[in-house]
Every structure is written in structure tokens, then in C-alpha cells.
Amino acid sequence: MKKKMIKGVMILICGLTPQILQAQGTTYLSNLGQTATGNLSIGSDSWLAIPFVTGNNASGYIFNSIQLSMTDASGNPSDFTITLNAGYPNFISPGSSLGTLNGSLNPVSGGIYTYVTASSITLLSIRQYFVVITAGTAVVNSAYDLNYAGGFSYDQNDNWDAANVAGGTLSISTDGSSWQQGAFIGPQYAITATPIPEPSAEMLLGFGGILLWGLISMLVHISSKRLKVVAENLPPCGHQNRHQRS
């Protein structure tokens, strides 16, 4: 009986999975169409944290990718690193890393670079996150450079917000530990994610049916065992008749 219930639940899960896989990724935040007005240096002593707040899809989102608009690097930088981090209650500092993003480890030439997750990362609804960028060389020697556009000029969809809860668009740090609010400029990027669909009414009914079927089966099984115990403890019919005649 337990195996049948597990099988039924797995069928429902498999029914939901294609909905997520077939959903198309949506670009929720972008200012890549804007003209760059300057650049931000990235190095071991110049960390950048780009905040964003997710939209109100109740089931959340699957993070797909971020695209960065880079200009030509200065010198010979190395060890470019980009991670997706949770938000932190003070709005400015990024929280713990949710995963390293994969893409070019050495974006020294100007252009658009795409970074994706190694494994699926779920973003909760109406929640702040950060994309944190650093490198292995001090900027006085060499630096990667991220373009920015002046002012707040992002295309924002489905109530996503290209800022932290306090309205800032950038946090900066010299060591990755102590953070402060950066200038109110627009780091140039685009974030794509896939909304997680809510279970359909048919799927919820199916799940309820499986639970009800399992409960009925369990009660029938218990009743059968009890009847078997009662039957085993009844005296034989012949023994009862002889007792009545005597």
C-alpha cells in the first residue's frame, strides 16, 4: 500500500516538472539597451554587489542567468568570480552565497558576458538577492571593468526591482566583508529567470484523491486485520454445540 501511495505522488511530481521545464525564461531586469556613461573597477580590493528584488509570483522563480556589460579590462587581471547571494536584513550587505555562476573567468574584452548557475537555484517571491563580483588582483595593478549607465534606467517586469529595499542600486566593499552603499548609478546587466507555476486545480484534486485513497486503503487494511484477530479467537462451532447440549 505504501509503495502505491509513493508511486502516485511521484506521478504528480512528474506531471508538475514538465510545466517548469517548458516555461520560457523571462528577462525581468535589464538596462543593456542604455548607453554606458562610465565603468566600475572590479578587483580583490574592489568588490561589487548588485541588489535586486524578485517579483510576486507566489511559487517563486528559477534563476537562469545574468548578463554583464563589460568594457576592456585594464592591465592583466585574473580570477574573475561572480556569485548569487541571499539578501541581508540591513539591505546593503549581501548574505550567504547561494552558488557560483559559471561563464567566462576572464572577461577582459568589451562585450556582453552571460553567467549561469551550475545547479538550479530557487528565488523566493518578493525577496532581496545580490549578485556579487570580485577578482584576484588589486585594482591599482589590474582590473576588470563593468559598464554603468547614469541614473536609474532599468526595464523592470512583473514587479521585480533593480535595487535593494532601500532603493540603492549598488553596494561596494574593499574586502567582501564590510559593505557600504555605492553611488546611485545603473550597473549594466540583465537578469533572466523562470517563474515556477502554481499547481493546477486538476493536480491538487489528484493529490487529494491519492491521499483519500490511501486513507481508505489503510482503514480497510486495519479493519481486515481486526476481523482476522476476532475470527481467530472465536471457539470452534462443534465445541460450542457440545457445550450447549451438556
The tens-digit pLDDT sequence of the chain (246 residues) is: 545 545 444 444 444 444 444 345 999 999 999 999 999 999 999 999 999 999 999 999 999 999 999 999 999 999 999 999 999 777 899 999 999 999 999 999 999 999 999 999 999 999 999 999 999 999 999 999 999 998 778 999 999 999 887 788 999 999 999 999 998 899 999 999 999 998 744 444 554 556 555 666 666 666 666 666 555 665 665 555 545 444
The whole-number pLDDT of residue 164 equals 84
Q: How many CB atoms lie within 10 A of CB 246?
A: 5
**pLDDT at residue number 60:** 97
Predicted local distance difference test score (pLDDT) of residue 204: 45
CB-based contacts of 84: which residues, under 8 Å, 6+ apart? 63, 97, 98, 99, 101, 117, 121, 129, 130, 131, 132
Distance CA 103, CA 98 (A): 16
Whole-angstrom distance, CA of residue 154 vs CA of residue 105: 26
Q: Taking a C-beta distance cutoff of 8 angstroms, is the pair 158, 26 a contact?
A: yes
CA angle 161, 25, 105 (to 5 degrees): 80
Residue 61 burial (CB count, 10 A): 26
* CA pair distance 62, 175, nearest whole angstrom: 30
pLDDT of residue 105: 95
Question: Helix 201-233 crosses helix 2-22 at what angle (to 10 degrees)?
Answer: 170
